[in-house]
């Protein structure tokens, strides 16, 4: 997916609803995906409730309105993994705050020993920050209201949010100098920060720790990394690694940071060591 112009590409806007914020501890309860091209409406949609196998908290239900009874007879993620994989194949993905959706998708696919999508994913939140500077904030609900985008249903349900994500992307593209006639190559070159691309576990990046980190991701163990921050200070963080991603020579580790209590990105070339935290008395150390 490196040639041609944007208007000729197939895009899929993806949105997930979940039982919480942690991709390793929580589960997906709804998936929606909307396939479209820039100059046409939605060509096909995929929308499925998912039985997470756990009870949801009242706080989570209050956000998306999906109850335990709603998903009681829904299929498990294991049952939808292959149909979802087939639907997503062959298109450029879009998601608002894409690292959240990709983390959940990667974790769920990994539990099923299924391949997760490694095509490019555009983060519409990051893209909006660059192309819609007048926005009061970059929450999807605010952008829908501020720019009078089509409202397809209640917020925090997967299909309306996926449709809104598609509309937001079309608006952002209209702000490009060449609009939908922008070449895909030019888009990647000028907006590299908006693109996520998961690195397949079978293809380790060229970094001394890549293979070991990939194995830690597969095992879903907590690790302690040594890291050079933006000020070139040596710091340590305990993290739960989620996936490796990037484009070209830029690769990063997406992980849940136990200090910040949120997902963070760590540039792979700045990681100089990690300890695999197996048990309190057993730590395996890898140092460059």
Residue 3 φ then ψ, to 5°:
-110, 170
Q: How far is residue 175's CA from residue 170's CA, in Å, rounded to a whole number?
A: 9
What are the φ/ψ torsions at residue 158 (nearest 5 degrees)? -65, -45
**Which residues, including other chains, have CB under 8 Å from residue 53's CB and lie 6 or more apart?**
27, 76
Tokens of 273: 């060591």
Q: Give the three-class secondary structure for 277.
A: strand
Active-site residue 207, yes or no? no
Given the residues 64, 96, 152, 156, select the one marked as catalytic.
156
Strand pairing of 250-257 and 234-247? antiparallel
Segments of the chain assigned E as strands? 11-18, 28-36, 42-49, 92-95, 121-123, 195-196, 223-228, 234-247, 250-257, 262-267, 271-279, 282-287
Pair type for strands 234-247 and 223-228: antiparallel
Cα separation, 223 vs 85, in Å, equals 29
Active site residues: 156
């Amino acid at each position: 997916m490196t040639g041609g112009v944007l208007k000729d590409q197939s895009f899929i806007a993806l949105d997930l609803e979940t039982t919480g914020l942690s991709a390793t501890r929580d589960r997906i309860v709804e998936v929606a995906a909307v396939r479209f091209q820039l100059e046409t409406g939605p060509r096909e949609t995929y929308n499925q409730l998912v039985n997470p196998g756990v009870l949801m908290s009242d706080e989570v239900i209050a956000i998306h309105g999906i109850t335990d009874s709603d998903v009681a007879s829904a299929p498990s993620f294991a049952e939808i993994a292959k149909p979802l994989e087939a639907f997503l194949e062959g298109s450029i993905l879009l998601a608002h705050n894409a690292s959240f959706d990709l983390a959940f998708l990667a974790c769920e696919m990994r539990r099923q020993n299924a391949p997760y999508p490694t095509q490019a994913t555009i983060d519409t939140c990051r893209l909006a920050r660059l192309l819609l500077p007048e926005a009061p904030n970059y929450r999807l609900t605010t952008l829908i209201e501020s720019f009078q985008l089509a409202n397809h249903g209640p917020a925090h349900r997967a299909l309306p949010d996926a449709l809104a994500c598609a509309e937001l992307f079309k608006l952002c593209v209209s702000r490009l100098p060449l609009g939908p006639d922008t070449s895909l190559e030019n888009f990647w070159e000028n907006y590299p920060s908006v693109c996520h691309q998961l690195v397949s576990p079978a293809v380790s990046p060229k970094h001394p720790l890549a293979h070991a980190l990939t194995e830690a991701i597969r095992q879903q163990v907590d690790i302690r990394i040594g890291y050079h921050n933006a000020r070139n200070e040596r710091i340590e963080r305990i993290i739960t690694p989620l996936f490796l991603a990037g484009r070209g020579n830029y690769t990063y580790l997406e992980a849940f940071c136990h200090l910040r209590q949120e997902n963070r990105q760590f540039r792979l070339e700045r990681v100089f060591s990690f300890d695999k935290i197996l048990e309190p008395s057993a730590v395996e150390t890898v140092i460059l």
